[in-house]
Amino acid sequence: MVRVFIIAVMVAITVSIGFAIWAYLEWQPNFIYVNGGESVQVGPVKYIIEYIGEHNGDEETSPEYTFVQISIIAENLGKESTRMNGGQFHIFNEEGTRVQPVYGNFSENDLLNDMLEQHVPVSFTTQFDIPYDENKQYRIGIKPTKEQASMDIGMVCIINC
């Protein structure tokens, strides 16, 4: 009787360890690293991110530090329309500090929120208010939206790659 109980406990431990390993591997993020100008697919959307330059804002919005501006070309390769918004993008410096974009009307195609139709490339710009140092490396992180249900995370090196 004691042997059966010990064997049952050992089987339960083995099954729970196996399930934990499977769950960890199943929901582990998949980081995809590329350089600026190269395409990266995050979920059903293919992105091309390029560094445009720095600017000091406009009459209505001025940065605390410096605005670093990027261009985003996005194409939905999925079977149905999907949403894209500025909150999917972050800039990271060498220390790993993450900064969200700043919204404004700095260009006529500034990204806030948009629906991506199937196989129709669209172009946007967005900017980040960061303490900019031209000698440091900067990367853009791209997360999928919830509806895209992907574990991919794109990391695009845009400066000093």
The per-residue pLDDT for range 34-51, each reduced to its tens digit, is: 999 999 999 999 999 999
Residue 39: beta bridge partners?
48
User: How many CB atoms lie under 10 A from the CB of residue 150?
Assistant: 17
- Does 55 score more than 90 pLDDT? no
Domain boundaries, the chain: 31-159
Q: Which two tokens stand for residue 100?
A: 């969200």
CATH number of this structure's domain 31-159, picked from the four choices 3.40.50.300, 3.30.110.60, 1.10.10.10, 2.60.40.1240: 2.60.40.1240
Q: DSSP readout, the chain?
A: -HHHHHHHHHHHHHHHHHHHHHHHHHS--EEEEEETTSEEEETTEEEEEEEEEEE---SS---SSEEEEEEEEEEE-SSS-EEEEGGGEEEE-TT--EE--B---SSTTB-SEEEEPBT--EEEEEEEEE---TTS-EEEEE---GGG---EEEEEEEE--
Percent of the chain residues topping a pLDDT of 70: 100
What distance in Å separates the CA atoms of residue 114 and residue 118, rounded to the nearest whole number?
13
The answer to whether 41 touches 76, Cβ cutoff 8 Å, is no
- pLDDT band for position 106 (cuts 50, 70, 90): confident
